[in-house]
Amino acid sequence: MDRYDRQARVKQIGAAGQAKISASTILIVGCGALGSYAAEQLVRAGVKQLYLVDPDTVSETNLQRQTLFTEIDAAQANFKVEAAAHVLRQINHEVAVTTFPVELRPELLAQMDKPTLALDCTDNFSVRDTLNRLALNQHFPYIFSGCAGVSGNLMFIDPSHGPCLNCAFPNLAQLKERDCDVLGVATPLIPLVSAQQIALAMRYIVEGHVANNQLMTISCWPASQQQFQIKKQSTCPICSQEKVAVPVTDRTLLRTMCGSQAYSVYLPTTVPLAAISNLLKKEHVTFQATKAFINFQWHGATVSYFKTGKLHLYDLANKNAAEIVYRDLWHLFKGAIQS
């Protein structure tokens, strides 16, 4: 019996609808709580291709609500996209799962087939703004979703033909400034919002259209659900244009990490983990290495260097101190490249 038999028996889907699902390509931006739920449901539903984009690694605080990860993933600080893909391929080996352990950037889309649909499963409005702009420029729809506390929002967005994220949230610039706010999330809220997001996704894949002007709010404590109509703004700085600029942050600039006294930066050139290991041995520096990163102490700072070229610096008093450690490390690492 076909593995999708029970799904195809649903009259709204049928064999024709299942064929559309099995031919679809989905981009998931953010592989945390909502993203891990969405990825599992879509893989079980039998999509053709799944792209996972997220630069973060698994930490112990993720395990309360991010269902594809284990304590081993947290202990090894595995990339979320790779930890998720490992499980997803065991659930359905027929689905092609491609991972990008980096931030969403315009050039990533050139490495993908055009998505049937994208899912916004991120936790900050800076990434959402980038996705919104890319969706307008590349002419694909996406489903915005977000959770905080005991309530969540979601909305199907096709910025080429209806209101965009900026129409729904005119205070987008202010929301981006609050991206480092660390908010609690109730565990049962995640599957409630994710289920609605995947229901919208499957309806769009099967039927080819859904309402693109409805913002839904969901609460799990107490249980409630509301919908609001969003109008496309003729003066919207984003979707009133045929093409809009996509701002790109210089990744080689030191940034404060959200929720902690820590800093992150990408090296100008990615250095292989093996080269860093050999360099630290020569410097007689004790380190712990996994397939994804190397962890060590350097001049009072705890340092994690990831295979993607990303550097995390912890236990530093301020950004100036972090800049000094970073410059010192980059000078050291350049020696590894040249040797």
Is a pLDDT exceeding 80 seen at residue 335?
no
The mean pLDDT value for 18-23 works out to 98
- pLDDT at site 277: 93
| pLDDT digits 0-9 by tens, 79-126 | 999 999 999 999 999 999 999 999 999 999 999 999 999 999 999 999
223-229 and 96-100 beta bridge pairing:
unpaired
- pLDDT at site 1: 57
| pLDDT digits 0-9 by tens, 279-288 | 999 999 999 9
Question: What angle (nearest 5°) sits at the alpha carbon of residue 73, between those of residues 71 and 79?
Answer: 150
| pLDDT digits 0-9 by tens, 139-153 | 999 999 999 999 999
Q: Which helix (H) or strand (E) covers residue 298, if one does?
A: strand 293-298
Is a pLDDT exceeding 60 seen at residue 198?
yes
Taking the C-alpha atoms of residue 45 and residue 277, their distance in angstroms, rounded to an integer, is: 42
Work out the number of other CB atoms within 10 angstroms of the CB of residue 230: 19
| pLDDT digits 0-9 by tens, 144-178 | 999 999 999 999 999 999 999 999 999 998 888 77
Are the CB atoms for 228 and 279 separated by under 8 Å? no
pLDDT > 90 fraction of the chain, expressed in percent and rounded: 84
List helix spans (H) across the chain.
Answer: 5-8, 14-21, 33-45, 71-76, 80-91, 125-138, 165-168, 172-177, 189-207, 273-282, 319-338
